[in-house]
Chains A and B, each alone.
Chain A
């Protein structure tokens, strides 16, 4: 896949492992811009939304930064690959049980907590729905306590922990991955490249 895309942005909205994601992207040969405003991220070809931590806090930050509107605009304009990782994927949906918090509503669905306060931590296998950007039965690193419930056709792959749930979603040019590709070694690196370069 030949491509001229080289500039990748990371939205810093106060939640997330910017250091690791930035490091991984640089190692994969992309130019990385980390920014908080529309202006600082205007020239990128793909944008990552990292996310570790608290849903209401993340959404509140986005609203205050006015970047919630920015993301909704990008979704409509279809002019940019946006990839949400972990919490960054969950905020794309309607609502989360965590703090009864509304999300961006870009994809329909809600975020629920795993029962008995259990957490999905470690490497797990992804079942791909069909031939998509993700290889079937590949394994990635997960680290989360909440999961997505959705009927939307946006689901590209699922994993199983307590139940089957979506772990990779796509709508227009917005992707969401529940796992951490930047921590999934070889196979994560390949997926990141595909996510950035896919048109």
Chain B
């Protein structure tokens, strides 16, 4: 399996934003244009997170998904934000999402998550777990209440009947801080046989190389820093023969404006 780079688009109030520590937000632009750019870059996956939906009990943002799918992108799309039921999940899949990600629903209603996994397939469900360090202990973080709520016990995720395919761990404190992702969080899961996506403060190539060399990590997710320069991902991910296999290069150097 090839390790992946997931481009994250955090959406607040229907605007794409930079998210810093789950607290501070800076506006970036229109989500669909950023998604289009990620697709042009040929990132491995795009994850859209609408952070208002669960808080305001609004259900999934179908209009947002529609805006993005109307761009006719050919890159895998994951959606997160406001999913309440298997009906929501199926509707999202039918409207263009390949996978969905859940956080609060796992806490409040794991039975519904079971139904979702049965309806759309286990492969399409990602569990998102924000983590925070308090007094040297790692805690699970409730983003709705903005507070840690229980000490992290990785085995708790595996004890229950498995209803997700990958676990995305989010370093809450280091989200938005360049190069700061806490790699100790990964080692907490080394005995669990889960597949991890790491997110929160990942921005440079040496960091990425270390994190991806871990067999339990299948992907890294990057949000804010992808908007800082023109072609950031080529310098972050090591270029391998995989890129040839996927033809992710930008092609040959052109002969001029006629080819642009």
Q: Complex Cα distance A182/B96, Å?
A: 11
Bound-complex Cα distance A180 to B76 (A): 9
B90 close to A (CB within 8 Å): yes
In contact, A182 and B123 (Cβ under 8 angstroms): no
Known: A19-B95, A145-B121, A180-B98. A125 touches B72 (CB 8 A): no
The residues of A that contact B195 with a CB separation of less than 8 Å are 118
Question: A117 touches which one: B118, B162, B247 (CB < 8 A)?
Answer: B162
Type the 1/0 row for A124-158, where 1 means its CB is closer than 8 Å to any CB of B.
11000000000001110101110000000000000
User: B42 within 8 Å of A by Cβ?
Assistant: yes
Q: In the complex, are the beta carbons of A186 and B96 less than 8 A apart?
A: no
How distant is A91 from chain B, measured CB to nearest CB, in Å?
14
Report the Cα distance A30→B95, complex, angstroms.
20
Inside 8 A of B70's CB, which chain A residues have their CB? Answer: 23
A20/B96 in contact, CB under 8 A: yes
Contact A183 B98 (CB under 8 A): yes
Question: How far does the Cβ of A113 sit from chain B's closest Cβ, in whole Å?
Answer: 9
Nearest chain B residue, comparing its CB with the CB of A27:
B72
Measured between beta carbons, the chain A residues less than 8 angstroms from B246 are: 123, 138-139, 184-187
A53 touches B74 (CB 8 A): no
Which residue of B2, B94, B166 is within 8 Å of A139 (Cβ)? B2
Looking at the complex, which one of A116, A180, A186 makes contact with B42 (CB distance below 8 Å)? A186
Contact between B69 and A20, CB atoms less than 8 A apart: yes
Given known A139-B242, A143-B98, A186-B247, contact A119–B75 (CB-CB < 8 A)? no
In the complex, chain B residues whose CB is within 8 Å of the CB of A137? 245
Whether A185 pairs with B96 at a CB distance below 8 angstroms is no
Does A67 touch B at the CB level, under 8 Å?
A: no
Interface residue ranges of A80-122 to B (CB < 8 Å)? 116-122
Q: Is A26 an interface residue (CB 8 A)?
A: yes
When distances are taken between beta carbons in the complex, the residues of chain A under 8 Å from B193 are 116
Question: With the chains together, A62 CA to B70 CA distance in Å?
Answer: 28
Given contacts A17-B94, A52-B124, A53-B119, contact A189 B74 (CB under 8 A): yes
Q: Please judge, given known A-B contacts A124-B1, A143-B76, whether A138 and B245 are in contact too, CB under 8 Å.
A: yes
Q: Is the CB of A122 within 8 A of B1?
A: yes
Other-chain residue from A118, A125, A145, A180 in contact with B2 (beta carbon distance below 8 A): A125
Nearest B residue to A144 by beta-carbon distance?
A: B123
Q: Is B14 an interface residue (CB 8 A)?
A: no
Per-position contact with A for B94-107: 1 when CB-CB < 8 Å, else 0?
11111100000000
Q: How far is the CB of B101 from chain A (nearest CB, A)?
A: 12
Q: Is B165 an interface residue (CB 8 A)?
A: yes
Residues of B within 8 A of A9 (CB): none
Residues of A within 8 A of B248 (CB): 185-186
- Cα A18 to Cα B119 with chains together (Å): 17
Bound-complex Cα distance A104 to B153 (A): 45
- A24-B74, A54-B121, A143-B124 known; A121 and B95 CB under 8 Å? no
B93's contact among A17, A121, A125, A188, by CB below 8 Å, is which? Answer: A17
A16 on the interface (CB 8 Å rule)? yes
A residues less than 8 Å from B72 (CB atoms): 23-24, 26-27
> Which residues of chain B from 56 to 80 have a CB within 8 Å of any chain A CB?
69-70, 72-77
Interface residues of A in 8-34 (CB under 8 A from B): 16-20, 23-24, 26-27
CB <8 Å contact, B123 and A19? no
For residue A161, CB closer than 8 A to chain B, the reply is yes
Q: Determine the distance from Cα of A19 to Cα of B118 in the docked complex, in whole angstroms.
A: 22
A139 partner residues in chain B, CB cutoff 8 A: 2, 242, 245-246
Report B-chain residues with C-beta under 8 Å of the C-beta of A138: 245-246
Rounded to whole angstroms, the CA-CA distance of A154 and B61 in the bound complex is 42
4 closest A-B pairs by beta carbon, nearest first, are A119-B123, A119-B165, A139-B245, A23-B72
Which B residues fall within an 8 A CB radius of A? 1-4, 39, 42, 44-45, 69-70, 72-77, 90, 93-99, 118-124, 162, 165-166, 193, 195, 218-219, 242, 245-248
Given contacts A19-B96, A119-B121, A124-B2, could you give 14 more A-B pairs where the C-beta distance is less than 8 Å? A20-B69, A20-B96, A52-B93, A116-B193, A117-B162, A121-B166, A122-B3, A122-B4, A125-B2, A138-B245, A143-B98, A143-B99, A180-B76, A189-B74
